[in-house]
């Protein structure tokens, strides 16, 4: 099943599990996939910014994406294919789709600095991967330094029929959701799925502004699922109560660099990953940071039992 603009819910950004010696950890990959789906996630996204993708060679990247897609069964898997050149992008995109992926995700390279250049880039990307591959536009200016205001996103979506989803992680970003939904109301933008990133740090209000869900990687994706559900059914106070309980941890996990270490550590503590190892060059948690995470877990456990974990060794 290919991804389309009706996608909604939670597409969790999956890390790439490694053994401490740097090899891919297939058992953890399978267990992680199962855990995410059992948590209620609607889909998975692999090889994203937090997926350590540049540390995998081409064969490894394709193999990992294929494994997750196979394990996920009917649940859609999106594969990050951003690359410095269209040859590598095409190879991974075609290979992943052949292996069962539902779509791919593309971020614009940081040197694009005007609307024409951004549009040209995405046209060329579509030419490279093929018009039959549905893709997600990643809008993450804090990292990629490319700024796409609502009207530019509308142009990209209009000119590229195979673009079916926006991974929204501009900051600030609430008005952008309102603007895009406003375009749709006035009939100048076709249907488009909007899933939000940025670790979910604005998901409480993003849902209220019209987002379809989340595509992000918090270590409690089951909370994201609940939040999206509560918000969808209009249970505002309950949604914010749940969100606020998790916000101290969401904020901690959102830190660049350190964040992936926190995420893998918590997923290991939850029994999902066998190890929190990153492939080299890796960033590790200091003892102080690990103690802070444990302290946050302890405080969170009072309000969300999912954070009640056996003591770390």
Give the residues lining the site for a second copy (CB under 8 A). 53-58, 60, 83-88, 90-91, 110, 113-118, 120, 124, 127, 141-142, 145-149, 151-152, 171-172, 174-175, 178, 201-202, 204-205, 208-209, 240, 243-244, 247-248, 251, 255-259, 280-281, 286, 288-289, 292, 299
CB of 4 to a second copy, least distance (A): 27
User: 57 vs 186, which CB is nearer to a second copy?
Assistant: 57
How are beta strands 9-13 and 163-168 bridged, if at all? unpaired
Sign (positive/negative) of CA torsion 108, 109, 114, 116? Answer: negative
Compute the distance between CA of residue 20 and CA of residue 282 in angstroms, rounded to an integer: 11
Identity of the residue, 90 or 167, whose beta carbon is nearer to a second copy in the bound complex = 90
Helices (H), 49-193: 58-72, 86-98, 115-129, 141-144, 150-159, 174-185
Give 73 or 256: the residue with its C-beta nearer to a second copy.
Answer: 256
Min separation Cβ 97 and a second copy, Å: 16
Q: How far is the CB of 124 from a second copy (least distance, A)?
A: 5
Angle at 74 between CA 69 and CA 77, to 5 degrees: 40
Taking the least distance from each CB to a second copy, the nearer of 73 and 120 is 120
Q: How far is the CB of 131 from a second copy (least distance, A)?
A: 15
| 20: exposed, middle or buried (Cβ count in 10 Å: 0-12, 13-18, 19+) | exposed
How near is the Cβ of 301 to a second copy at its closest, in Å?
14
SS3 content of the chain, % helix, strand, coil (to 5): 50, 10, 35
- Structural tokens at position 161: 């029929």
Q: φ, ψ for residue 77 (rounded to 5)?
A: -120, 125
Of 32 and 91, CB closest to a second copy: 91
């Amino acid at each position: 099943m290919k991804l389309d603009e009706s996608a909604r819910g939670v597409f969790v950004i999956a890390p790439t599990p490694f053994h401490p010696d740097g090899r891919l950890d297939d058992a953890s990959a399978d267990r992680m996939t199962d855990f995410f789906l059992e948590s209620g996630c609607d889909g998975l996204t692999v090889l994203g910014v937090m997926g350590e993708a540049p540390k995998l060679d081409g064969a490894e990247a394709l193999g990992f994406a294929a494994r997750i897609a196979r394990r996920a069964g009917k649940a859609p898997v999106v594969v990050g294919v951003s690359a410095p050149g269209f040859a590598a992008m095409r190879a991974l995109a075609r290979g992943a789709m052949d292996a069962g992926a539902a779509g791919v995700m593309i971020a614009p390279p940081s040197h694009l600095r005007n609307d024409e250049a951004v549009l040209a880039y995405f046209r060329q990307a579509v030419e490279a991967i093929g018009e039959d591959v549905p893709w997600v536009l990643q809008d993450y200016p804090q990292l990629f330094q490319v700024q796409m205001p609502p009207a530019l996103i509308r142009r990209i979506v209009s000119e590229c029929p195979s673009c079916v989803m926006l991974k929204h992680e501009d900051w600030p970003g609430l008005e952008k959701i309102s603007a895009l939904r406003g375009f749709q109301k006035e009939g100048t933008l076709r249907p488009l799925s909007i899933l939000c990133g940025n670790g979910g740090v604005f998901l409480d209000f993003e849902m209220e502004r019209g987002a379809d869900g989340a595509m992000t990687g918090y270590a409690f994706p089951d909370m994201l699922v609940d939040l999206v559900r509560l918000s969808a059914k209009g249970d505002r106070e309950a949604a914010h109560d749940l969100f606020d309980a998790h916000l101290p941890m969401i904020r901690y996990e959102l830190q660049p660099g350190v964040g992936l270490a926190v995420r893998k550590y918590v997923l290991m503590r939850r029994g999902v990953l066998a190890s929190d190892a990153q492939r080299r060059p890796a960033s590790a948690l200091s003892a102080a940071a690990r103690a802070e995470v444990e302290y946050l877990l302890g405080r969170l456990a009072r309000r969300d039992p999912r954070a009640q974990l056996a003591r770390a060794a």
